[in-house]
Chains A and B, each alone.
Chain A
Amino acid sequence: MSNLKAGFRELEHTADCELEIWAPNFIDLLEQAALGMNALAGIRLIPGNRVVRKFHFMFNDFEQALVSFLEELLFIADMENLAFDEFEIVVSRNLIDVKAIGSEILADSKEIKAVTYHNLAVISTQSGLCVRVVFDV
């Protein structure tokens, strides 16, 4: 893990793709995970014409919330050809509200089929939280 407060890096995985993501708190972890997924897919956005999408999902545990968040982004990308690089996220007791800001996808290089639960565990570190996510590609 890098010394930067928040970020992501790709790990070696034979068939699929794996990201290590870290951040000082869970909201930032979600944001970094989204940016990491965009990077994995090789997404480039069309400049200008920013669009906003709002959605929410249940907050049962860190892992399930992370998967639900990324799955929502995959669904929007597939249906509307949109991706997001700015987020306003509010976590309440059992709900997470997301305002995602982004634009239309200009190009991408990889199809991410799904976000998996494989060995998924958000762990506490000295500087915040860290997780490894395997994506089916």
Chain B
Amino acid sequence: MVDTKDLRKISDYEWEIPQAYRADMRVPVRIIASRQIIKAVMQDRSLEQAVNSATLPGLVKHVVVMPDMHQGYGFPIGGVAATQYPSGVISPGGIGYDINCGVRLLSSQIPLSQIKNDLDELATTLNYQCPSGVGTKGHIRVNIQELEQVCRQGSGWALKKGFASQTDIERTEEHGCLPGADPSKVSKRAKERGKAQIGTLGAGNHFIEVDLVEQIYDERSARVMGLRIGNIVVQIHCGSRGFGHQICSDYVRELQGAVRRYGIELPDRELVCAPLDSPEGESYLAAMRCAANYAFTNRQVLAHHARKAFELTLADKVSNWHLQQVYDIAHNMGKIETHEIQGKPVKLCVHRKGATRAFGPGFEGLPAEYRPIGQPVLVPGSMGTASWVLVGTELSMQKSFGSCCHGAGRLMSRSKAKKQVWGEDLHKQLTESGIHIRAGSMAGFAEEAPQAYKDVDEVVDVVTGARIAKKVARLKPLVVIKG
């Protein structure tokens, strides 16, 4: 187990586990955390998993872990690892089963004061329009040919079907479509699972929230994003559903043999990987991109349903009930990006598992209006607590491969949360605090209790203290829909 004495302090918010810590490490581990957070993460195996991740072939510079880190499987959640392209490896476990799990933020020009009495009806309508829960099927069913179009076109498919606007597409990471997706690399099983789940939320920590813009920290960036104090916004958190889970499962199984074929030694079978230029690595990358595009489409269709819910509930009550897209970002993804390494631009495969891309100002892939301020970074808090809107910085490009935290990060196990919290009590407590809740399962609800997570404000203070992101706005929950 990693101990505090193994860490080298770089600053109040940055620490390092040197490469010399373990003989099989290929790069050091850089930890973005306060002393308090370091103390908290020592309670689980996050850092040990980060050290394991640092053994992958072809890694560049360092493995980075964010302050919302917690123990996962293989990689820790909150981990960022970049490998040389195409000579390094790609690891499905470094991206996760819920490929392109991510967050979308929609803004409105609706002041809370105008719809305070309509929130309960809004919660009910959102809950009906946006199907949630275990294995749920959506309002949309596609055949295999259409599913393959979703794989190739991502949000572009949603645009053609009338579920998206051009602005939605422009304000989505990678414009909602990773090039190079190849449905022929996706199993029949994954396709079968994917046919009926477009436009569904799922369960676990996935949610839809209506929030209040409670505080603005950066007027200029907030104005560009359409965020105004006192107005309401919507967050959607979900991923690629059974389609992505099946693709990852298929390739983690298939790559068990690949590591033997390529003579790669790993400390954990969940870290299986293949060289990016091998047939196995290329196949996984092409299939993973299909799941990523499916997830962009899923959040786009959910956004369409959320807009419908707003129209049904508020059209006769406010003059402008429309929801504008602020941004949509992934936090479980592997992408080929160019980063500056020792002063030279180098193509890398950046694995982000429970970490958000956070590109600084000037990045060409951003919509023109965001280029001067940097990429919006969406950091949802735990249920019932604040969420944050940040922007990426130039320093994030240098320190963390243009990455930032993705949430508050779990602190307590699900089993312990269930022992300490009664779902019904929590429901009552949050309702009394003015939050309108719709939850599928009380047991699942208890697992997501705020006390099971780190303090999101502290996590955000760390990433802003490390200057990999800047605060723009703090959001307060009003409606929470959970599967």
Contact = CB atoms under 8 A, between A and B. Distances in A.
A136 interface: yes
A15 B415 contact: no
A13 B71 contact: yes
Contacts of B70: 14-15
B413 A13 contact: yes
Interface string B403-422: 00000001111111000000
Size range of the chain B interface in the assembly? 35 or more
B270 A118 contact: yes
B420 to A, nearest CB: 13
A84 B349 CA distance: 41
Contacts of B249: 71, 114-115
B192 A79 contact: yes
Contact of A64 (B253, B268, B415): B253
Interface string A13-48: 111110000000000000000000000011000000
Nearest to B445: A109
Interface string B83-124: 000000000010011100000000000000000000000000
A63 B204 CA distance: 26
A14 B97 CA distance: 17
A111 interface: yes
A16 B269 contact: no
B362 interface: no
B483 interface: yes
B77 interface: yes
Contacts of B483: 111
Interface residues of A, number: 35
Interface string A90-120: 0000000000000000001111011111111
Interface of A: 10-17, 41-42, 63-64, 67-68, 71, 75, 77-79, 81, 108-111, 113-120, 134, 136-137
Interface in B254-313: 256, 268-270, 272
Interface in B151-171: none
B444 interface: yes
A120 B267 CA distance: 11
A75 B189 contact: yes
| 9 A-B pairs with least C-beta separation | A118-B73, A117-B269, A111-B203, A109-B441, A118-B270, A114-B97, A116-B73, A109-B443, A14-B71
B197 to A, nearest CB: 9
A117 B135 contact: no
5 contacts: A14-B411, A109-B134, A117-B269, A117-B272, A118-B268
Nearest to A77: B135
Interface of B: 44, 46, 70-74, 77, 93, 96-98, 133-135, 189, 192-193, 202-204, 242, 245-246, 248-249, 252-253, 256, 268-270, 272, 410-416, 441-444, 447, 483
Contacts of B270: 116-120
Nearest to B267: A119
Contacts of A108: 134-135, 441
Contact of A78 (B73, B204, B242, B272): B242
Contacts of B413: 12-14
Contacts of B246: 75
Contact of B202 (A67, A79, A111): A111
B74 A111 contact: no
Contacts of A13: 71, 413-415
A120 to B, nearest CB: 6
A93 to B, nearest CB: 19
B276 to A, nearest CB: 21
Contacts of B134: 41, 108-111
A111 B135 contact: yes
Contact of B269 (A11, A63, A81): A63
Q: Which of A13, A64, A79 has the most CB of B within 10 A?
A: A13
B439 to A, nearest CB: 11
Contacts of B416: 12
A8 to B, nearest CB: 13
B193 A15 contact: no
Q: Which of A42, A75, A118 has the most CB of B within 10 A?
A: A118
B414 to A, nearest CB: 6
A31 B257 CA distance: 26
Q: Which of A63, A64, A111, A136 has the most CB of B within 10 A?
A: A111
A64 B73 contact: no
B423 to A, nearest CB: 9
A101 B356 CA distance: 43
Contacts of A71: 249, 253
Q: Which of A42, A64, A67, A119 has the most CB of B within 10 A?
A: A119
Contacts of A63: 269
Given A12-B413, A16-B72, A77-B135, A111 B204 contact: yes
A64 B272 CA distance: 13
A57 to B, nearest CB: 10
B97 A136 contact: yes
A110 B441 contact: yes
A64 B256 CA distance: 9
A10 B332 CA distance: 26
B73 A10 contact: no
Given A75-B189, A77-B135, A42 B441 contact: yes
A38 to B, nearest CB: 12
Contacts of B242: 78
Nearest to A43: B134
Given A15-B77, A63-B269, A119-B268, A114 B245 contact: yes
Nearest to A107: B441
A63 to B, nearest CB: 7
